[in-house]
Amino acid sequence: SHGCRPIVERKLGRKERKLVYGGVAGRATRLVRTSAAQRRAFVLGDDEVLTLARWATAIERHYGKPMDMEWAKDGRTGELYVLQARPETVQARRASGQLETYRLGRAGARLLTGAAVGEAIAAGPACVLRSAAEIGRFVPGSVLVTSITDPDWVPVMKLAAAVVTDHGGRTSHAAIVSRELGLPAIVGTGKATAVLHDGDTVTVSCAEGDTGVVYEGRAEFERQALDTTAIPRTRTQVLLNVANPTAAFRWWRLPADGVGLARIEFIISHDIKAHPLALLRPEAVASPRERAALAKLTRGWPSPQEYFVAKLASGIARLAAAHYPRPVIVRTSDFKTNEYARLLGGAAFEPHEENPMLGWRGASRYYTDYRDGFALECRALKRVREELGLTNVVVMIPFCRTPEEADAVLAVMADNGLKRGERGLEVYVMCEIPSNVVLAEQFAARFDGFSIGSNDLTQLVLGVDRDSSRLKGLFDESHEAVTRLIRSVIDAAHRAGRKVSLCGQAPSDKPEFVRFLVDAGIDSVSVTADSFVRVKANVAAAEAALGARQPQSLRSQVTRA
């Protein structure tokens, strides 16, 4: 409606052969190779896709249930037909069992331990791959064992029963992708590729708390389906942190109140792969090999810029469509300079910084030398909201150091057609720097809400590098120095009529931190899908413990347009 064309994703099939009907004169039906033009072309145009989608929704409305439909397009007239419709059973059955809890029984010898990702258990033969060059010999259904993963590994991760790595922590690539694909993973074992051998049957257990264990042989374990209707209702909203568009539709049955943090870095590094400025100015990339790779990536697209905008819009749209009409808060890119430099062609545009964590990141990029790259991000967000009709997308600005910086960023957004307040556009700010708390009233005058990034806020309040293993005993989001600031920003935001969420790791790991947040009157917490059920239960318990004392939040009065 309203002129929107909500085609969230397109896939170009290979279509190497076609079956040609022989006709009524007794000629044989033939299988022939397709032409190069046919292989390159999409089978349906946008109007035809939208027509079929409208017919499908009308059929499902008529029957009142999900339907499995077949359609055809007449080769001579181009007319579309619906051939049949029957109740859908495969996805309906699979989806209901998607949310499960696991309990380990008798198990073999402990072979390895590491950080557990997810709460599932899986068993199967190990497939040990030393590098991405060996991906071709991966056996679907095996346990993927490797040193470390990067975007090249995603296709085999989708086929794995579980993932075990030598290196990496809870925020590593392997952990993020496994979490969103619902795969049990054990990261940072130190020696998996040395201890495990191809074909060894192992059990990967993430059902025993923070430490994951690889057991010898096939352990006994039981799996129990979760009834999503039994998840308690809470006043404090619980939202999801998401990054991977391919997993967007996996968790739609969770009774989440929306998405509190959609990170677009994953889309840029996995789907787009290139630095935005390298797409805009490929002649500035010194390496002929990288220039050739850029040309190959964008071949067939109207322009390299359109490649970036369309790919980013498609990724964001999948995250937003899975939760429509609930709010989906999309954070603009927050790579550090060393991470931007690793994108194809990125080295030409990124300075070397001694401390990228405190360097040219977040808001400071958007109105300076990265401004043209940020304009492409704005174009993608505008397309998702206005052309695809996903108006539930809220934009969030990361690492915004001062109110003056906020003004500069909002001005650049408005120049690119994203004006706060127009067409219902809300703009949030990450609260992850002490200045965001100290000047909360000034930030509240410029933004519609705050999302507390407890990892960065803790790092900057306590002066502790969040990635330092030597200092990990000092890194504590529950420290009074941090909790006082969190209470302060919640109170200041509510006085200004603004909402506050928190999207760090702490609520997933610490029930007492959830109790503190509920007591402080936070509007929502945003957590990874694998910890949603646990956090929801902890929030309900915290609200019950507080009893009749309604937190001083504007939750009941603030309604979303």
For residue 123, what are the β-bridge partners? 203
Q: Is the dihedral of CA 48, 53, 56, 57 positive or negative?
A: negative
- CA–CA gap between residue 510 and residue 173 (Å, rounded): 23
Distance from C-alpha of 149 to C-alpha of 24, rounded to nearest angstrom: 56
For residue 207, what are the CA distances in angstroms to 101, 113, 124, 531?
A: 8, 13, 17, 12
Task: Give the dihedral sign, CA 300/305/311/313.
Answer: negative
Residue in this structure with the two tokens 């927050």, named with its chain if needed: 334
DSSP-assigned letter for residue 369: T
Helix 511-520 × helix 532-546 angle, to 10°: 50
- DSSP structure class, residue 382: H
Whether 417 and 378 have beta carbons less than 8 Å apart is answered as yes
Cβ atoms of 323 and 258 within 8 Å: the answer is yes
Nearest CA-CA partner of 388 in 310, 300, 303, 326: 310
Beta bridge partners of 110: 215
What are the catalytic residues?
173, 503
**Contacts made by residues 224-233, CB under 8 angstroms, sequence distance 24+:** 224/100, 224/101, 224/102, 224/103, 225/96, 225/97, 225/99, 225/100, 226/99, 226/100, 226/101, 226/533, 228/99, 228/253, 228/254, 228/255, 231/255, 231/533, 231/536, 231/537, 232/536, 232/537, 232/540, 233/540
In order, the DSSP letters of 416-456 are TT--TTGGG--EEEEE-SHHHHHTHHHHHTT-SEEEE-HHH
Instruction: Please work out, in degrees rounded to the nearest 5, the angle formed at the alpha carbon of residue 4 by the alpha carbons of 310 and 450.
Output: 70
Are 234 and 521 in contact by the 8 Å Cβ rule? The answer is no
Neighbouring C-alpha atoms within 13 Å toward the C-beta of 274: 27
Rg of the Cα atoms in the chain: 25
- The torsion of the CA quartet 528, 534, 538, 543, rounded to 10 degrees, works out to 80
Task: Count Cβ neighbours within 10 Å for each residue of 194-231 and write b for 16 or more, e otherwise.
Answer: ebbeeebebbbbbbeeeebbbbbeebebeeeebeeeeb
Task: Name 500's bridge partners.
Answer: 450
Half-sphere exposure for 27 (CA within 13 Å, toward CB): 9
The residue whose two tokens read 């490929």 is: 282
DSSP 387: I
* Side chain identity, residue 369: D
Structure tokens at 333: 């890119």
